[in-house]
């Protein structure tokens, strides 16, 4: 399955945490930044990406704990000039405002 087909499939099966985060990132609600969900980048699909700021936001479930593949993926994305923020699903669901504050800080300081 190619990246676009994978992204389409993932858009239709968002987790609760992804749905919550998307409801707050879509339509330029945060710092007027345009985020796209399930956005293909090279061989990967980012949960959320702001192409203007080259910022990726990942919503991670338990399967991502100490996952070497995620470390390689993040390293590749960073090599391509992207910044990657990762948040655990429970944090997104219970501390949404804190998560959004962290994303906002990254948007306001593009050199992070």
* CATH number of the 3-108 domain: 3.40.960.10
Give the per-residue pLDDT at 10: 55
pLDDT digits (tens, 9 = 90+) for 34-65: 999 999 999 999 999 999 999 999 998 865 45
User: In the chain, count of helices (H) and strands (E)?
Assistant: 5, 4
Residue written as token pair 């300081």:
109
Q: Is the pTM of this model over 0.75?
A: yes
Domain boundaries, the chain: 3-108
pLDDT of residue 68: 83
Residue 80 burial by Cβ neighbours in a 10 Å radius (0-12, 13-18, 19+): exposed
Q: CB of 30 within 8 A of CB of 66? A: no
């Amino acid at each position: 399955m190619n990246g676009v087909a994978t992204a389409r499939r993932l858009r239709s099966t968002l987790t609760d945490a992804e749905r919550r985060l998307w409801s707050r990132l879509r339509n330029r609600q945060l710092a007027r930044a345009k985020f796209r969900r399930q956005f293909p980048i090279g061989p990967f699909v980012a949960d959320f990406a702001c192409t203007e700021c080259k910022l990726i936001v990942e919503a991670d479930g338990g399967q991502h704990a100490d996952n070497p593949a995620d470390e390689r993926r993040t390293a590749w994305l960073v090599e391509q000039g992207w910044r990657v923020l990762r948040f655990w699903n429970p944090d997104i669901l219970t501390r949404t405002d804190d998560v959004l504050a962290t994303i906002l800080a990254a948007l306001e300081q593009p050199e992070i």
